């Protein structure tokens, strides 16, 4: 089977493989809706996936057009996957093979969210929606048959493992979680069995903080009291969606004075793990005495320690995806042929209605029942006449015989000589 696609699809991306987290912060799209709206004017369909450690733009369009668009957006030197390579990369993404934490499940929810956002803004299209849904289904199946996510950790739970590694144990510790979104939930779930003395949850929206705190029997705190609870904590895990730093070096330096014993010149150590994107903590915070600051880049070590145990499962997933890619290409081309078939059926419908209306003029009666029968008859004849050729065109598309499928429609709708098409 040919790997030729009926319609172009392209992905441009940067990730933890190519850039550090600070470098990715510089090329992130702050206003996602505005970006998607601009991109929607260039492409039939577009989707933006922005996570803690990757940015992916998936479009129903050519690689040349996407590169030109990115240039207009002042973005360059992104990795490009096109056509069958793009579909293969999408399967790798959904299966967790390309994640910082191999096999993690969070990417599936992130893909669903990205698709929902595009559909809500009206910048997706049926072909792109099919691609994302197929990738999500394949990613779920890959985990089921391989167990690659067995024991795998999300970024949130990796942060907890890092904290445990640094402190030896989290039993009896006080932990403050800043942010109550999806990442905050993953963090609290990972902390559930750690026998903590206290979990504090802070969020810009206090009700959201309360909802998350209730799930883990923690305490919701107001953001205005953030620094007061920081100095009561042993570990602070930051995971908000704020576009600017939440913890600032000047404010934290003042608060840290309260962590000292009256006659002690040293500050009680405070472990801060920032897994937000963009970052929640100003970089200068790591220079404060007694502060141990870790970011997403440091979580790569956690992944390195767990990757080896999942290599066998990863190899099984790769074999599965190689088979799924062939099926994905067939499915893509079958769906991609819809636009070509629409041209054929529109042509046939125009002939049907024209001849039906001529027949109406020859009737001696305006009996609506008789007119309805004539309309039904012409519809049935047209449908039956197109049934076989529709099947042939879809079959050509699935096999990647794009030119043959296009030539067939041209021969039927425009009366072109198919022999001349064969000679071209």
Q: Where in the sequence numbering do the catalytic residues fall?
A: 52
Pairwise CA distance, residues 272 & 235, whole Å: 6
Torsion angles phi and psi, residue 111, rounded to 5? -65, -45
Cβ contact 230:174 at 8 Å:
no
Closest to 158 measured CA to CA, from 100, 108, 216: 100
R_g (Cα) of the chain, nearest Å: 28
CA distances from 423 to 296, 407, 417 (A): 58, 12, 10
DSSP codes of every residue in 106-130: HHHHHHHHHHHHHHHHT---HHHHH
Cβ contact 407:344 at 8 Å:
no
Other CB atoms within 10 Å distance of the CB of residue 306: 16
Closest to 32 measured CA to CA, from 120, 154, 130: 120
Collapsed DSSP state (helix, strand, coil) of residue 225:
helix
The alpha carbon of residue 293 and the mean position of all alpha carbons in its chain are separated, in whole angstroms, by 28
Pairwise CA distance, residues 110 & 414, whole Å: 45
Torsional sign, CA 228, 231, 232, 233: positive
**CA dihedral defined by 256, 257, 258, 259, rounded to 10 degrees?**
60
């Amino acid at each position: 089977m040919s790997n030729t696609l009926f319609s172009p699809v392209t992905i441009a991306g940067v990730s933890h493989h190519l850039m550090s987290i600070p470098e990715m912060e510089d090329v992130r799209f702050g206003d996602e809706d505005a970006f998607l709206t601009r991109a929607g004017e260039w492409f039939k369909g577009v989707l933006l996936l922005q996570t803690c450690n990757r940015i992916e733009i998936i479009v129903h369009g050519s690689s040349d057009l996407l590169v030109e668009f990115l240039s207009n957006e002042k973005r360059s030197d992104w990795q490009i996957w096109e056509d069958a390579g793009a579909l293969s990369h999408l399967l790798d993404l959904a299966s967790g093979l390309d994640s910082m934490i191999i096999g993690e499940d969070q990417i599936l929810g992130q893909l669903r969210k990205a698709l929902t956002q595009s559909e809500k803004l009206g910048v997706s299209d049926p072909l792109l929606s099919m691609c994302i849904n197929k990738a999500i289904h394949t990613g779920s199946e890959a985990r089921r048959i391989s167990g690659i996510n067995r024991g795998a950790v999300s970024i949130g739970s990796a942060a907890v493992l890092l904290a445990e590694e640094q402190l030896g144990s989290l039993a009896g510790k006080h932990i403050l979680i800043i942010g109550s979104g999806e990442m905050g939930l993953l963090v609290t779930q990972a902390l559930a069995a750690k026998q903590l003395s206290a979990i504090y949850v802070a969020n810009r929206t206090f009700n959201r903080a309360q909802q998350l705190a209730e799930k883990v029997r923690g305490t919701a705190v107001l953001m205005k009291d953030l620094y007061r609870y920081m100095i009561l904590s042993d570990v602070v895990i930051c995971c908000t969606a704020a576009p600017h730093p939440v913890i600032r070096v000047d404010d934290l330096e003042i608060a840290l004075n309260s962590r000292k014993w009256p006659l002690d010149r040293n500050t009680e150590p405070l472990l801060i793990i920032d897994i937000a994107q963009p970052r929640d903590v100003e970089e200068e915070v790591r220079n404060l005495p007694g502060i141990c600051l870790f970011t997403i880049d440091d979580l790569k070590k956690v992944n390195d320690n767990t990757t080896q145990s999942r290599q066998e499962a990863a190899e099984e997933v790769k074999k599965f995806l190689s088979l799924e890619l062939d099926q994905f290409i067939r499915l893509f081309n079958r769906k991609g042929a819809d636009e070509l078939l629409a041209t054929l059926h529109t042509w046939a419908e125009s002939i049907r209605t024209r001849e039906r209306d001529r027949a109406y003029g020859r009737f001696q009666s305006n009996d609506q029942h008789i007119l309805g029968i004539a309309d039904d008859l012409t519809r049935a004849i047209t449908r039956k006449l197109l049934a076989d050729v529709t099947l042939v065109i879809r079959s050509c598309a699935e096999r990647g015989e794009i030119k043959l499928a296009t030539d067939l429609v041209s021969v039927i709708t425009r009366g072109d000589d198919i022999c001349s098409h064969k000679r071209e």
